[in-house]
Amino acid sequence: MQNVKDLTKIYQEFPILSQKVYGKDLVYLDNGATTQKPRSVIECIQTYYERYNSNVHRGIHFLSQEATQLMEDARSGIASLIGVDDPAEVIFTKGTTEAINLVAFSYGETFIREGDEVIITQMEHHSNIVPWQMMCARKKAVLKYIPLNADGTLALDQFEDLITPRTRLLALTWVSNTLGTINPVKEIIAKAHQHGIHVLVDAAQGVQHLPTDLRDLKADFLVASGHKMYAATGIGFLYGHRELLSVMTPYQGGGSMIKSVSMDHSTYADIPFRFEAGTPDISGAISMGAAIDFIQGIGIEAIQKYEHGLFQYAIDQLKNLDRIRILGNAAHRTGTISLIFDQAHPSDVGELLDKQGIAVRTGHHCCQPIMDFYKTPGTLRVSFAVYNRESDIDRLVEGLQKALSML
């Protein structure tokens, strides 16, 4: 799998892609919502339940020890994928949404005071907006945002104008889940750090597509979801600097996150366990280990190159079609494309594509501020993964032409 040419056959590793939908071969182009799972991930989940099912970090018996080792191997795998030397800085969560909520609560309780400021962007998924609105309302803090440009990039020339001595944290997406724009997070983080501002990066649409090295990016927090990177649903992770996590108020209380408990006082465990209360999604965590093995077996640079080729092929095909407009034209994008149509609603087009066996996403994609900016209620989103092929794009183009001829 080291040769990019081999990726044209990688779809064979994904059992779900062999099925037909309405009598047509399935073309799955909704990878921004969730990715399909390779056989290796499916088998690892089955093996866990057949051979190792047990609770972790609590038992001295064989099954518990094996399950614990598999889960901690997955934690180390995440650290390896994102360029982190200390796996204890990786916290398992239910996904990106919970990871952001964890930081919004715990960082907010520890560091935010009345009148302090948090900066987000107009590009964010609701999961990187609403938790900060809630935290700022609770702490009587101020929430600001970096606006969008018409080309789908951030108006970064306005970033420094938003900064004051009370600015504590910047939370932004690495890759837009709607426009595919890749934000220059390394430069943004460096600028924020010059002002003593901590930075959270939403990498839900990044780590499966782009090389990620936190030794280089130097983000204070980074979050992502397993199901968008070929692992199971219900699992994700938070990376945080040890010096921050170690002093942050725990997000939840319960088993596993304590050192000691008495009737009038409790002390908390060291990281990562102080943020992992209760029985975790063990099989989900283990599936992330298998998914990372899958990604690293191919090579993230090879994936990036292959997916960029798909993206460019799609843009070349779509830009010449009548009645179609592509939202955003940033110079640096991943394989996510949002379309709107002259005299046709995206949902109607999407439904007609579905009848042709083509799965896409329609709606506002949990990004209503982006839709407001472009004055549209929603788009039709096409998003690629490593198992897509140029033939999928050909089917998409043919399907769009057929759908629009009916509307």
Whole-number pLDDT of residue 124: 99
Boundary-marking domain end, from 242, 274, 296: 296
Alpha carbon 255 to chain centroid distance?
28
Structure confidence at residue 55 (pLDDT)? 96
Mean residue pLDDT of the chain comes to: 97
Residues 291 and 346 in one domain: no
Q: Residue 382's beta-bridge partner residues?
A: 337
pLDDT at 5 over 70: no
Task: Give the pLDDT band of residue 1 (cuts 50, 70, 90).
Answer: very low
331 and 183 within one domain: no
Backbone angles phi, psi at 378, to 5 degrees: 180, 175
Angle between helices 300-318 and 282-298 (to 10 degrees): 80
DSSP helix/strand/coil, 339: strand
Residue 10 covered by a domain = yes
Which residue out of 44, 136, 366, 367 is catalytically annotated?
366
- pLDDT (0 to 100) of residue 8: 86
DSSP 5-45: GGGGGGGGG-GGGG-EETTEE-EE-BTTT-----HHHHHHH
Q: What is the mean pLDDT of residues 207-218?
A: 98
Strand partners, 154: 148
Q: Is the pLDDT of residue 7 over 90?
A: no
Distance between CA atoms of residues 379 and 177, nearest Å: 12
Q: State whether 253 and 329 are in the same domain.
A: no
Which pLDDT does position 317 carry in this prediction? 96
pLDDT value at residue 66: 97
Give me the DSSP letters along 271-283: TTGGG--SS--HH
Pick from 360, 366, 335, 328: nearest CA to 347: 360
With cut-offs at 50, 70 and 90, classify the pLDDT of residue 4: very low
Q: Is 162 helix (H, G, I), strand (E, B) or coil?
A: helix
Spatial distance between the Cα atoms of 77 and 243, rounded to a whole number of angstroms:
22
Cβ neighbour number for residue 207 with a 10 Å cutoff: 25
Partnered with residue 121 across adjacent β-strands are 146
Same domain, 266 and 384: no
Summarize pLDDT for 48-106 with one digit per residue, the tens: 999 999 999 988 999 999 999 999 999 999 999 999 999 999 999 999 999 999 999 99
- Regarding whether 306 and 194 lie in a shared domain, the answer is no
Residues 6+ apart with CB under 8 A from 379: 178, 327, 338, 339, 340, 346, 362, 363, 364, 365, 371
Predicted model pTM? 0.97
Q: Who's near 217: CB < 8 A, 6+ residues apart?
A: 83, 185, 186, 189, 201
Position 133 scores a pLDDT of 99
Indicate the number of domains in the chain: 2
Give Dmax over CA atoms of the chain in angstroms: 71
Average pLDDT over residues 99-116: 99
- Is residue 36, in this structure, part of any structural domain at all? no
Claim to verify: residue 58 and residue 160 sit in the same structural domain:
yes
pLDDT value at 3 more than 70:
no
Q: Tokens for 110?
A: 């520890």
Asked if residue 347 and residue 289 are part of one domain, the reply reads no
Q: Quick one: 126 and 15 in the same domain?
A: no
CA angle 22, 32, 107 (to 5 degrees): 145
pLDDT, position 34? 99
Parent domain of 313: 4-30+299-405
CATH of the domain at 221: 3.40.640.10
367 is known as an active-site residue: no
Query: Confidence class of residue 164 from pLDDT cuts 50, 70 and 90?
Result: very high
Q: What average pLDDT score do residues 370-378 get?
A: 97
At which residue do the structure tokens 């390779």 appear? 38
The answer to the question of residue 355 being in a domain is yes
- Rounded CA gap, 90 and 290, in Å? 17
Whether pLDDT at 375 is above 80: yes
